[in-house]
Amino acid sequence: MVDSVTVAGIDCGTNSIRLKISRVDADGMHDIVPRILRVVRLGQDVDKTHRFADDALDRAYAAAAEFAGVLSRHHVDGLRFVATSATRDAQNRDTFEDGIESILGVRPEVIPGTEEADLSFLGATSVVSRGELQPPYLVVDLGGGSTELVLGGDGVTAPATQVQAAFSMNIGSVRMTERHLRHDPPTEEEIAEAIADVDEHIDEAFRTVPAGKARTIIGVSGTVTTMSALVLGLKEYDHRRVDGARFAMKDAYEIDDRFLRMTRDERRQYKTIHPGRIDVVGGGAIVWSRVLAKVSQAAAEDHGGVLDSYVASEHGLLDGIVLDYGRRLLAARR
């Protein structure tokens, strides 16, 4: 009987592409190659043109070729390549899929927002110790093109790690920046337009996801972890300081607002921010602040609770892809 498999997962989003190789067994994931991230901005102008730009495709192909080199040095039982928001929206996605398949030998799976939400929740909650955080958990996966809200069970009537409701919103750091924040720094009118756009999407999501029932917010993705590192005042990004740490919402609001109103040159002085996020971190900050504020308000209205903090996590969609794929391969081989 096979008791473990070695699998690789690739998560290709609107702003970045990530690779992870892990051994998966009954106890979970054991990293062989921890996350490798490259910012390729595949979703460049997709919100406006509904097509991948040639230079964006070239950047994605270059990253895929690099990943192929890494994979050649490891025996893996399977590779799953998942593409999300930008690829869902691109009319020429076949060109992208053909190019990736020629480089890596697997065709990208363009998953719907609902599956993206489920996998993000699986990844985020896979490292939550029992009793460490109070359920229900609301996982917020804030990407470049979309943001997923996923609510789990209460741990009594339904397992805390079981998804109860999910919704994928077409708002993210890249999409909001390209759609609204056209000046450097953005004008107050542009910021107001972006907030109104984000709020409309959140209100729609709340009709599907009863976010007010949440007792713990878990934020995943580069925007959340970057802004959290800035709250800590880190001079350089340190995942060990950020992963699993709890942050007060009031501190997040202050940092989000300050960096939203900075020029790009001012942001470049902060090594905490990945160079590939310099121009879009403001758009992500708006989404993050509005989600926190709206969930906090909903919690007060739903159960009179005070929800004034969140937990940042390095574990999200990519972890969910690897863990889910590994478990399915294990089940098939038993």
Q: Any idea what the CATH number is for the domain that residue 148 is in? A: 3.30.420.150
pLDDT band for 126, please (50, 70, 90 cuts). confident
Average pLDDT, stretch 80-91? 89
Answer yes or no: do 134 and 96 share one domain.
Answer: no
Average pLDDT, stretch 151-179? 95
Answer yes or no: do 93 and 173 share one domain.
Answer: no
Phi, psi at 4, each rounded to 5°: -160, 155
State the Cα–Cα distance between residues 65 and 28, nearest whole angstrom. Answer: 28
Half-sphere exposure of 256 (CA within 13 A, CB side): 25
Q: Per the domain annotation, does 284 fall within a domain?
A: yes
Answer yes or no: do 161 and 286 share one domain.
Answer: yes
CB 167 within 8 A of CB 209: yes
Supply the pLDDT for residue 333. Answer: 84
Buried b (16+ CB within 10 A) or exposed e, 71-91: beeeebbebbbbbbbbbbbbe
pLDDT band for 1, please (50, 70, 90 cuts). low
Is residue 253 predicted with pLDDT exceeding 80?
yes
Is residue 218 predicted with pLDDT exceeding 70?
yes
Among 294, 291, 311, smallest CA distance to 302 is for 294
Residues 6+ apart with CB under 8 A from 1: 334
Half-sphere exposure of 57 (CA within 13 A, CB side): 16
Q: Any idea what the CATH number is for the domain that residue 57 is in? A: 3.30.420.40
Average pLDDT, stretch 283-291? 98
Supply the pLDDT for residue 113. Answer: 85
Answer yes or no: do 190 and 109 share one domain.
Answer: no
Answer yes or no: do 223 and 106 share one domain.
Answer: no
Q: Per the domain annotation, does 331 fall within a domain?
A: no
Phi, psi at 306, each rounded to 5°: -100, 110
Supply the pLDDT for residue 297. Answer: 97
End-to-end CA distance of the chain: 6
Answer yes or no: do 268 and 303 share one domain.
Answer: yes
> Which residue among 56, 83, 113 closes a domain?
113
Supply the pLDDT for residue 86. Answer: 80
Answer yes or no: do 143 and 264 share one domain.
Answer: yes
Average pLDDT, stretch 165-172? 96
Average of per-residue pLDDT values in the chain: 94
Supply the pLDDT for residue 328. Answer: 95
Q: What is the chain's length? A: 334
State the Cα–Cα distance between residues 59 and 62, nearest whole angstrom. Answer: 5
Is residue 130 predicted with pLDDT exceeding 60?
no
CB 86 within 8 A of CB 127: no
Answer yes or no: do 272 and 149 share one domain.
Answer: yes
Q: Per the domain annotation, does 223 fall within a domain?
A: yes
Is residue 136 predicted with pLDDT exceeding 80?
yes
Answer yes or no: do 59 and 174 share one domain.
Answer: no
The total of structural domains in the chain comes to 2
Q: How far is CA 209 from CA 153, 154, 166, 198, 281, in A?
A: 12, 14, 6, 16, 26
Residues 6+ apart with CB under 8 A from 331: none
Q: Per the domain annotation, does 319 fall within a domain?
A: no
Answer yes or no: do 50 and 189 share one domain.
Answer: no
Collapsing DSSP to helix, strand or coil, 55 comes out as helix
Q: Beta strand pairing status for 109-110 and 78-83?
A: parallel
Give this prediction's pTM.
0.94
pLDDT band for 257, please (50, 70, 90 cuts). very high
Please give the share of the chain, as a percent, with pLDDT higher than 70: 99
Q: Per the domain annotation, does 119 fall within a domain?
A: no
Answer yes or no: do 104 and 184 share one domain.
Answer: no
Domain extent for 11: 4-113
pLDDT band for 305, please (50, 70, 90 cuts). confident
Is residue 128 predicted with pLDDT exceeding 90?
no
Answer yes or no: do 153 and 105 share one domain.
Answer: no
CB 89 within 8 A of CB 47: yes
Q: Per the domain annotation, does 323 fall within a domain?
A: no
State the Cα–Cα distance between residues 55 and 61, nearest whole angstrom. Answer: 10
Q: Per the domain annotation, does 53 fall within a domain?
A: yes
Q: What is the pLDDT of residues 224-241, one digit of tens each?
A: 999 999 999 999 999 999
Average pLDDT, stretch 282-291? 98
Average pLDDT, stretch 156-165? 94
Supply the pLDDT for residue 84. Answer: 87
Q: Is the dihedral of CA 11, 31, 276, 79 positive or negative?
A: negative
Q: Per the domain annotation, does 283 fall within a domain?
A: yes
